[in-house]
Homo-oligomer: A and B are copies of this chain.
Amino acid sequence: MYSSELIKGTLKTIILSLLTDEEKMYGYEITQKVKNLTGGKIQLTEGALYPTLHALEAQGILTTEVVNVGNRLRKYYTITPSGKAVAQEKVTEFSEFMATMRILLDLQPRAGEA
């Protein structure tokens, strides 16, 4: 697990990036996918995730659809076309931010970068 302060500010970017690839996910599924993809190094907390999903929905970036699976509810989130543009911006910005931080922290630049 990374110290939580590092992960701050990346939650929206992570959510929107996953939903760009998958088109349809529910909250719990997002937590599990992130956990699996990162080998447990990033674990989203529900207290952070759900309010953020609600905010993204209120902003028209995500839409929802509630589905009954067995006796349990699942709230699926889908990214809107305008949301996809936001997702792309966020991912690009984070990518550039990493390149800048590499310079600042005196780390190796990525291949193809000067």
Contact = CB atoms under 8 A, between A and B. Distances in A.
Interface in A77-113: 91, 93-98, 100-108, 110-111
Interface residues of A, number: 38
A7 interface: yes
A93 to B, nearest CB: 6
A110 B5 CA distance: 23
A107 to B, nearest CB: 6
A101 B10 contact: yes
Contact of A110 (B17, B42, B97, B111): B111
A102 B98 CA distance: 10
A18 to B, nearest CB: 8
Given A91-B105, A98-B101, A7 B9 contact: yes
Contact of A105 (B4, B6, B14, B41): B14
Q: Looking at A34, A104, A110, which has the most chain B CB atoms within 10 Å of its CB? A: A104
**A-B complex: 4 closest residue pairs judged by Cβ atoms:** A111-B111, A5-B9, A8-B9, A17-B105
